[in-house]
Amino acid sequence: SQQGEEDPQALSIQEGENATMNCSYKTSINNLQWYRQNSGRGLVHLILIRSNEREKHSGRLRVTLDTSKKSSSLLITASRAADTASYFCALLPKTSYDKVIFGPGTSLSVIP
Amino acid sequence: DVKVTQSSRYLVKRTGEKVFLECVQDMDHENMFWYRQDPGLGLRLIYFSYDVKMKEKGDIPEGYSVSREKKERFSLILESASTNQTSMYLCASSDPRIQGRTEAFFGQGTRLTVV
């Protein structure tokens, strides 16, 4: 399967703590993306990192990519209760120019 | 503001019915996708369209067909609904002309229950 695998499947933290989610994959990629989904809603794009990039920041989000280990991490700093959601990594494999492949997701709960 | 609109948030259909799920995007995107989402399985691609009247099968196309007669509209058709097609269905679009981007914009989802 070309799918990414997120780790952990579920994460519960206190408000103000940092949350780290990991994504491992097996195929070569053009880019890797992270999405967020609030309960019962569609997905919202958070950040995209290209295969030649190692780190990217967007507000409280920090994404790293290690193509040699085929892994990525999403760090949310100073978490808030409103960050409670599911987070998905999504791959754009080199063999599939346009089709984005999603992993099963990490469910994050931020306790006020 | 970019928008992908799915025609229904909730739908209940009977086994054997023909079901149409509609999706419209207003961003002039070339690519459109239909995914289904089930607990523990993430999003699985059903069908993908990269142009009007063009389509490609995704990972789980069995029991589904699609139609793209106009660029902005991508329809998912359940030929004969079955209970194992009860799921959340998500439509998305993206624009491959933006080099290196390919971020997908999603609709709100349609929760389909087949009884």
Output the domain CATH number for residue B110: 2.60.40.10
pLDDT band at B99, cuts 50/70/90?
A: low
Residue A11: how many CB atoms within 10 A of its CB? 17
pLDDT at position B98: 64
- Percentage of the residues of chain B whose pLDDT score is greater than 70: 92
CATH number of the domain bearing residue A81? 2.60.40.10
The domain in which residue A101 lies consists of 5-111
Nearest chain A CA: its distance from B23 CA (Å): 13
Number of domains in chain B: 1
Mean pLDDT throughout A16-45?
91
Q: What percent of chain A stands above pLDDT 70? A: 95
How many whole angstroms from its chain centre is CA A75? 9
- Chain B partners of A3 at a C-beta cutoff of 8 Å? 42
Sign of CA dihedral B1, B35, A32, A7: positive
DSSP collapsed to 3 states, chain B: CCCEEECCCEEEECCCCCEEEEEEECCCCCEEEEEEEECCCEEEEEEEEEECCEEEECCCCCCEEEEEEECCEEEEEECCCCHHHCEEEEEEEECCCCCCCCCCEECCCEEEEEC
Nearest to B46 by CA among B112, B92, B103: B92
CB spacing of B100 vs A100 below 8 angstroms: no
Q: Indicate the length of chain A as a whole number.
A: 112
Q: How many domains does chain A have?
A: 1
B4, B9, B30, B37: best to mutate for the A interface, most A CBs within 10 A = B37
Domain that holds residue B55: 4-114
Q: Which residues of B touch A33 (CB under 8 A)?
A: 102-104
- pLDDT of residue A38 exceeding 60: yes
Q: What is the mean pLDDT of residues A64-75?
A: 95
Read off the pLDDT of residues B18-67 as tens digits, 9 standing for 90 and up: 999 999 999 898 889 999 999 878 889 999 998 898 999 998 999 999 99
B111 touches chain A (CB under 8 A): yes
> Mean pLDDT for chain A?
90
CB A77 within 8 A of CB A18: yes
Output the pLDDT for position B50.
Answer: 87
Percent of chain B with pLDDT over 90: 72
Supply the pLDDT for residue A5: 80
